[in-house]
Chain A
Amino acid sequence: MVALLQVQNLSVGLPFSAPLLDAISFDIAEGERVGLVGASGCGKSLTAGTLCGLLRAPLRVLAGSVRLDGTSLTDASPAIWRAARGRSVFQIFQSPGTALTPVRRVGTQLAEAAQIAGRDTKAAVSQALDAVALQPDVTGLFPYQLSGGMKQRVLIAMALILRPRLLIADEPTTGLDVLTEHDILTALNTAADETGASVLFISHDLRAVHRIATRTLVMHAGRLVEDADIADLAISKAPAARALATAATALQNPC
């Protein structure tokens, strides 16, 4: 069976200098939930950006290929990317505070997602808000009137409306308190359950990843060093993976 996402030997970086992502290869099957962990600056967000075609110039794909749902996304034209984004792949970005357009109401921005997905706006929006436990009157508010956690849930609602085949969540709980983190992760699980989407959950926190996925990728200094179940990380051949597992266990010791 062909995997939903096939990444082969992907190298990304500035032209004529050492690549920031070095020959990354991994697959994600349909409906599979995978984590992507690593220390800060190891290239996780860069990977996520590449999968959405949102690399900022002069960063570019130097080598390798990305295939999503049968379509090759390497060197794809803007038209192909426009068709792929929202429907095949969608990303919840790292800072919810600045992700929503400040001058448009939440409802309008969610309605846009419904239009992309080709669904009835009213129904889709109210269903999605319900699933992430947000009040329906949120649609009349502007982003500045929402808290960080609420904004993040709006983004997850957006993902629910869009129903992408692959949902990437880049550090969705970083910077949020533990209670909100719990809500977000629950909402994320709901979204994945309801849409049957594959999820790539990026975080530097193994415990959060564990709530969503069993299999996880470990990156270190631009390289993919491990691709295994979380439970097996402690005995991984890669030192970076073992270090992460040890740190996570240490933090988990009860108070």
Chain B
Amino acid sequence: MLRFILIRLAVAVPTLLGMSVVAFAIVAIAPGDPVMMELRALGVVPKPEDIAALRAEYGLDQPFLLRYLDWLGRAVQLDLGTSIATGRSVVTEIAMRLPATLSLAVSALIGAVLVSVVFGVCALSRNRGVAACMRGLTILLVSIPSFWLALLFIYLFVLTIGWGRLVGDGTWSDLILPALTLGLGAGASLGRVVYERIRAELSEDHIRLAIAKGLAPRRILISHIAPRIVGPLATAWANTFGALLGGVVIVESIFGWPGLGQLILQAIAQRDFPVIQAYLVFMGLIFFTMSILADIVVFFTDPQLRRTLSDD
């Protein structure tokens, strides 16, 4: 087991390096000169000497590789620069809001997994009516934009019935509506995956034998189908989490949830490049970790894979 994790991590290093290059180089697509923009953002009228001095200070006159290594060196020490807008350390800004975003993303994921199991299993019901209903509901939920669903929920719950608040401040009760909004859509999408996986398994020869033995459906589902689909499902959960990390941006802005979503939108509006860059780095790292965890689950649930890797 340890061997597998070590190998997986070793393979991950080039990917991580590649990610860091992307995060570093992406600044280059910005039109205009970052130095000029920063000076302008600070409200300073730039003089040629100032510009040259600032360029030297930022090392902008150095070749790409040196600048990258310099940036990387600082990055691993958790120094990702200061926010142009607030002047505070970028890492501080992000650390302040990361817990709120993570708690929303995680609760939405849990909700989504629960919804997906209900949807997926019901869609397989022998009752044609129930199955068709579920599949129709799934496809509908997957098509509703989360921002519209959020607005509808606000209209319904906050304005009409009177639950919840329009502007939240991060207490647990404010988490329910945003998590529900995200969880329903993600749950319907995951439900599709669950349904397809189980349906594909039900066409397999080994299920035919299990049925021929006279086993009850519940037993077949738990003993013969579940172990086969846990791996792919774990991967789907990791991918859903990645989608949720993006989706929270929309929902946080509508529900006023104090997370990274508001930070990144402000940063985009204010061209606050250090913040945008750090956001990319953090979100990338978090998603990357989830993917590795999913890979570990896949490894554990496939006996053939385990054997071939540990026999080497």
Asked if B208 and A158 make an inter-chain contact with CB atoms under 8 angstroms apart, the answer reads no
CB of A100 within 8 Å of the partner chain: yes
Nearest residue, chain A, Cβ from B308: A144
List B contacts of A84 (CB < 8 A): 214
Nearest residue, chain A, Cβ from B219: A112
One of A18-26, A101-109, A190-198, A223-231 contacting the partner:
A101-109
Give, as a whole number of angstroms, the nearest-CB distance from A236 to chain B.
Answer: 32
List B contacts of A102 (CB < 8 A): 206, 228, 303-304
Nearest residue, chain B, Cβ from A98: B205
Answer whether A93 and B205 are a contact pair too, CB < 8 Å, given A82-B214, A86-B214, A116-B214: yes
Nearest residue, chain A, Cβ from B302: A103
Asked if B213 and A113 make an inter-chain contact with CB atoms under 8 angstroms apart, the answer reads yes
List B contacts of A83 (CB < 8 A): 214
User: Which residues, 43 to 93 on A, are CB-close (under 8 Å) to B?
Assistant: 52, 54, 56, 78, 82-87, 90-91, 93
Asked if B212 and A103 make an inter-chain contact with CB atoms under 8 angstroms apart, the answer reads no
Asked if A86 and B212 make an inter-chain contact with CB atoms under 8 angstroms apart, the answer reads yes
Answer whether A112 and B223 are a contact pair too, CB < 8 Å, given A98-B205, A101-B206, A142-B303: yes
Give, as a whole number of angstroms, the nearest-CB distance from A157 to chain B.
Answer: 13
Answer whether A98 and B204 are a contact pair too, CB < 8 Å, given A103-B228, A104-B223, A104-B227: yes
Cα separation A102 to B205 with both chains bound (whole Å): 11
List A contacts of B219 (CB < 8 A): 112
Contact with B along A108-150 (1 / 0, CB 8 A): 1000110010000000000000000000000000101100000
Cα separation A142 to B210 with both chains bound (whole Å): 16
Asked if A99 and B211 make an inter-chain contact with CB atoms under 8 angstroms apart, the answer reads no
List A contacts of B207 (CB < 8 A): 101
Asked if B224 and A101 make an inter-chain contact with CB atoms under 8 angstroms apart, the answer reads yes
Interface size on B, residues (CB 8 A): 25
Cα separation A155 to B210 with both chains bound (whole Å): 11
Residue from B126, B206, B210, B216 in contact with A98 in the complex, judged by beta carbons closer than 8 Å = B206
Answer whether A54 and B211 are a contact pair too, CB < 8 Å, given A104-B224, A104-B227: yes
Answer whether A85 and B213 are a contact pair too, CB < 8 Å, given A100-B206, A142-B304: yes
* Most B-side CB within 10 Å, residue of A52, A91, A103: A103
* Interface residues of chain B: helix, strand, loop or mixed (majority): helix
Cα separation A116 to B215 with both chains bound (whole Å): 7
List A contacts of B228 (CB < 8 A): 101-103
Asked if A112 and B213 make an inter-chain contact with CB atoms under 8 angstroms apart, the answer reads yes
Cα separation A113 to B223 with both chains bound (whole Å): 13
User: Which residues, 146 to 182 on A, are CB-close (under 8 Å) to B?
Assistant: 155, 158, 162
Cα separation A100 to B228 with both chains bound (whole Å): 13
CB of A95 within 8 Å of the partner chain: yes
Asked if A54 and B214 make an inter-chain contact with CB atoms under 8 angstroms apart, the answer reads no
Residue from A99, A142, A145 in contact with B209 in the complex, judged by beta carbons closer than 8 Å = A99
CB of B301 within 8 Å of the partner chain: yes
Asked if A82 and B216 make an inter-chain contact with CB atoms under 8 angstroms apart, the answer reads yes
List B contacts of A93 (CB < 8 A): 205, 208-209, 212
Asked if B304 and A144 make an inter-chain contact with CB atoms under 8 angstroms apart, the answer reads yes
Cα separation A83 to B215 with both chains bound (whole Å): 9
Give, as a whole number of angstroms, the nearest-CB distance from A237 to chain B.
Answer: 35
List B contacts of A90 (CB < 8 A): 212-213
Answer whether A99 and B205 are a contact pair too, CB < 8 Å, given A104-B224, A112-B223, A142-B303: yes
Please name 9 further chain A to chain B contacts, defined as beta carbons within 8 Å, in addition to the given A85-B213, A112-B213, sorted by A numbering: A83-B214, A86-B215, A100-B206, A101-B228, A103-B302, A104-B223, A142-B307, A155-B209, A162-B214
The 23 listed contacts between A and B (C-beta, < 8 Å) are: A54-B208, A83-B214, A84-B214, A85-B212, A86-B215, A90-B212, A93-B208, A99-B205, A100-B206, A101-B207, A101-B210, A102-B228, A102-B304, A103-B301, A104-B223, A108-B223, A112-B210, A112-B215, A113-B213, A116-B214, A116-B215, A142-B303, A155-B209
